[in-house]
Structure 1
Amino acid sequence: MAKLYFYYASMNAGKSTTLLQADFNYRERGMATMLFTAAVDDRFATGTITSRIGLSAPATMFDAATDIAAAVTERHRRGHLACVLVDEAQFLTADQVRQLAGIADGLGVPVLAYGLRTDFRGQLFEGSARLLAVADALIEIKSVCACGRKATMNLRVDREGRAVAEGRQTEIGGNDRYVALCRRHFTEALE
């Protein structure tokens, strides 16, 4: 029975690297996969999942209007898909998460979704909230705060490295804009 998996973590935990390794494992065994990434993520090449350690793979871009179920069903019809992998899953809509569950349940294709749990204010993203509610398996990928404790929060910083507490939920950036921290240091930085 295929399942919907949600791999979540703070920034810089290796979510994209882990996704690309899973994709490689399937493809190395001659199995077909389909990769998705958020169109809004323009940090690297568009239509590409790229990890900070230099791994990358082409992917189908999605935005709020994308019918992921239709794209997967069409691709699956042309040749059996062994797995669907979604990067930046926090940017999924609740309906797209429903579609992913339908892919696992109806098509029998496992779906591995990777993303942030919370934003820079400690609030759930729509896609993450829905995945936390309906995924068959929740897997935390660990990252480390500068103090050595587990990093669970994403602190947004300005150009001078000062904590940012207000703004749009989505602002694309990497190490220049976000720091993964434990809850204690996240809270202290915002106070």
Structure 2
Amino acid sequence: MAKLYFRYGAMNCGKSTAIMQVGYNYYERGMNAVIMKPMVDTKGDNKVVSRLGIDKPVDFLVGNDDDVFEMIDLYQKENKKIDCLLVDEVQFFRSYHIDQMLKVAVTLNIPVICYGLRTDFLMNGFEGSQRLLLIAHTIEELKTICTCGRKATLNGRKVNGKYVFEGEQVAIDGENHVEYQSLCTSCYFEYRGE
């Protein structure tokens, strides 16, 4: 039986780069790995974009009303076998999408490797990430460092270069003067004034 994986980390830990690397590894072995991301992630439009300056078109853009299981099942019937489903920005998916991804792994025997954030800029969980923490077969942390050199586990949101601690949960990096910084807990509380 294939597994549902959740690989999470703070901003700038290399999640999108890892997706492209894993996809290439499958390609190099003559296998078919497909990439999926949610429509709400408008960064790069229909591409996975890495801070290293590389990008890759996705095979599936998923909206709230889409059924991930049906999309993958239909693709295999109309195209070719999928050897791995790679999911970028998984935190933005709904709980029912995560359940559908589990069904893809278990019923269709396709490994589903999800990459995303565990928490938002206010230390709250994302719906997709919370569901994955409950049902994923394997959970792995991708590590990165804070500007102070300590392990970063949190995400700071900057607007016009200043840290903010209020606002909507979803604001896409690079849009409307928004940028994110991976932070250790100490620096996070310092910037928050605590």
Band the TM-score falls in, shorter-chain normalisation: over 0.9
The 1-side partners of 2:98 and 2:76 are apart by 18
**1:176 deviation in Å?**
5.0
Aligned-partner residue type, residue 65 of structure 1? D
Distance 1:12 1:176 in 2: 15
Partner Cα distance (2:93, 2:188) in 1: 25
Structure 2: stretches of 5+ with no match in the other structure: none
- 2:181 is aligned to 179
Alignment deviations for residues 2-25 of structure 1 (CA, whole Å, 9 cap, x no partner): 000001011111000001100000
Q: What does residue 11 of structure 2 align with?
A: 11
Total equivalences in the alignment: 189
Query: What is the aligned partner in structure 1 of residue 163 from structure 2?
Result: 163
Partner of 1:135: 136
Q: Within 5 Å, which residues of 2 pair with 1:23-102?
A: 23-44=23-44, 46-59=45-58, 60-77=60-77, 78-102=79-103
Deviation beyond 4 Å, 4+ runs, structure 1 = none
Which deviates further from its counterpart, 175-184 or 77-86?
175-184
Instruction: Report if the CA contact (8 A) 2:88-2:115 is conserved.
Output: yes
TM-score by length of 2: 0.93
Give 2:118's aligned residue: 117
The residue that corresponds to 1:189 in the other structure is: 191
User: Does the Cα contact within 8 Å between 1:94 and 1:126 map onto a contact in 2?
Assistant: yes
In 2, Cα distance between equivalents of 1:19 and 1:120: 23
Question: In structure 1, what is the Cα distance between the partners aligned to 2:125 and 2:21?
Answer: 26
Question: For residues 33-62 of structure 1, what are the alpha-carbon distances to aligned partners after superposition, in whole Å with 9 as ceiling and x for unaligned?
Answer: 221112122222x11111111222211111
Report deviation, 1:178: 1.1
**Secondary structure of 1:95's aligned partner:** helix
Q: Quick one: which amino acid aligns to residue 50 of structure 2?
A: S
Q: 1:127-172 deviations in whole A, cap 9, x for unaligned?
A: 000011110111111110011111110111121x322111100000
CA RMSD across the alignment: 1.3
Equivalent residues of 1:3, 1:110 under 8 A apart? yes
Give the TM-score taking structure 1 as reference length.
0.95
